Amino acid sequence: MGSSHNNKSRIFTPCTRTHQIGALLLVTTTFFLTRLFDQSFSPCHSSPVNQDGISHRNHVHISDGGRSISWPERGYGSHLSLKIYVYDENELDGLKLLLYGRDGAISADSCVKGQWGTQVKIHRLLLQSRFRTKKKEEADLFFVPAYAKCVRMMGGLNDKEINQTYVKVLRQMPYFRRSGGRDHIFVFPSGAGAHLFKSWATFINRSIILTPEGDRTDKRDTSAFNTWKDIIIPGNVDDGMTKRGLTLVQPLPLSKRKYLANYLGRAQGKVGRLQLIELANQYPDQLESPDLKFKGPEKLGKIEYFQHLRNAKFCLAPRGESSWTLRFYESFFVMKQNFLFRMSLTTPRYQ
């Protein structure tokens, strides 16, 4: 009753013309004061400019219709000059857990293999990059190394531990808090993307995410991928196939390829994949689709896999757990002239 009475007794002053004029004067005053301070703190004399229009003080100057404008040469001018800071594994408590697991038994060499190896390769490339800096204060971007997908798959951490460890690491980063994470880079090399970190939406929703897949709304209410800041990266293909010069397996001419199409992967109980295996049994001269396994006689070795992949005119990639497929990238190096289908497969027999 008392609260209701107080609400009724409140008097709200309407917005009058006097208030509107006052607000307009406040905005105008703020604008002119800002311009005044900008002019007061700007250099009195412009920097000397060479024949190419580049300032000796690292500024680019351009004249347009009698008006001259300038902006920093570094990063916006004739060359790229980024500074990237890579967090050290000993710098943040918990970072080693995301790299090597709770027991420290998982090695980077074991994580660099397979389709998720980009998490290691990008880290190693940045450690050797000419853009790397060891001074946080001069860095434009910050790279946070983590092999969380590999660590999870090898039993080094479970989902709850990964989430808790990421949160623990992020809370030790003053530069992350400074920008809200906007200048920090994370790699999530699997179809799950940033969802591997359960609390991504709370902590790294503004950060730059590198991932092979942008569409993850099929099993979740929202996607962690933002086209305005995140980057799609290819899956990891074996170095023996991507190096310059002679690779492990060379492409075959179309006329020498045995099969019309092939699918080389595990069935995983997926309807489309099971249909392909059934069709391969019916048309063994046209379609190759063995039910491959992680180990045993149904597992193909590295060279053997690419030898099979190159031996068809088309590479079929029926949808599995997620929208992306490593075979899309692998086929580039052994098939060259092929078309590749990415589909939720329903064969003519079923439709």
- Say yes or no: 228 and 243 in one domain: no
pLDDT at 13: 63
Phi, psi of 140 (to 5 degrees): -90, -35
* Choice among 9-18, 50-59, 227-236 with the minimum mean pLDDT: 50-59
Residues 139 and 99 in one domain: yes
In a domain, 206, yes or no: yes
Give yes or no: residues 254 and 216 share one domain: no
Confidence of residue 160 (pLDDT cuts 50, 70, 90): very high
Lowest mean pLDDT among 107-116, 131-140, 310-319, 321-330: 321-330
Q: Has residue 66 got a pLDDT over 80?
A: no
* 214 assigned to some structural domain: yes
Same domain as 223, residue 260: no
Question: Which residue, among 277, 266, 281, 276, has the nearest Cα to 320 in the 3D structure?
Answer: 266
**Final residue in a domain of this structure, among 175, 208, 232:** 232
User: Which contacts (CB < 8 Å, 24+ apart) does range 196-199 have?
Assistant: 196/148, 196/149, 196/152, 196/159, 196/162, 197/148, 197/162, 197/163, 197/166, 198/159, 198/162, 198/163, 199/163, 199/166, 199/167
Weakest mean pLDDT among 94-98, 129-133, 182-186, 264-268: 264-268
At 29 the pLDDT is: 81
- Give tens-digit pLDDT for 234-280: 889 888 888 877 888 988 888 899 999 999 888 888 888 899 999 99
User: Is the residue at 15 inside a domain?
Assistant: no
31: in domain: no
Identify the residue with better confidence: 227 or 8: 227
In the chain, the number of structural domains is 2
Domain annotation covers residue 41: no
Nearest to 341 by CA among 306, 323, 320, 315: 315
**Average pLDDT along the chain:** 81
Contact by Cβ (8 Å): 279, 287: yes
- pTM value? 0.72
Report residue 61's pLDDT band, with 50, 70 and 90 as the boundaries: low
Asked whether residue 72 is domain-assigned, the answer is no
204 and 120 inside one domain: yes
The boundaries of the domain holding residue 104 are 84-232
Cβ(144)–Cβ(184) below 8 Å: yes
Is residue 213 domain-resident? Answer: yes
Alpha helices in the chain (DSSP H): 2-9, 17-41, 73-76, 95-100, 108-111, 118-127, 148-153, 159-170, 174-179, 200-203, 239-242, 271-282, 302-309, 327-334
| Cα separation, 198 vs 157, whole angstroms | 13
pLDDT in tens, 184-231: 999 999 888 899 999 999 999 999 999 987 765 556 677 888 889 999
Q: Which of 217, 232, 247 is the last residue of a domain?
A: 232
Looking at the fold, whether 90 and 227 belong to one and the same domain comes out as yes
Task: Give the range among 77-81, 94-98, 177-181, 286-290 with minimum mean pLDDT.
Answer: 77-81
pLDDT tens digits, one per residue of 25-37: 888 888 777 777 6
Quick one: 163 and 93 in the same domain? yes
pLDDT at residue 222, rounded to an integer: 77
**Does one domain contain both 263 and 346?**
yes
Q: Tell me the pLDDT tens digit for each residue of 69-92.
A: 565 565 555 566 789 999 999 999
Same domain, 151 and 247: no
**Which of 232, 264, 288 is the last residue before a domain boundary?**
232
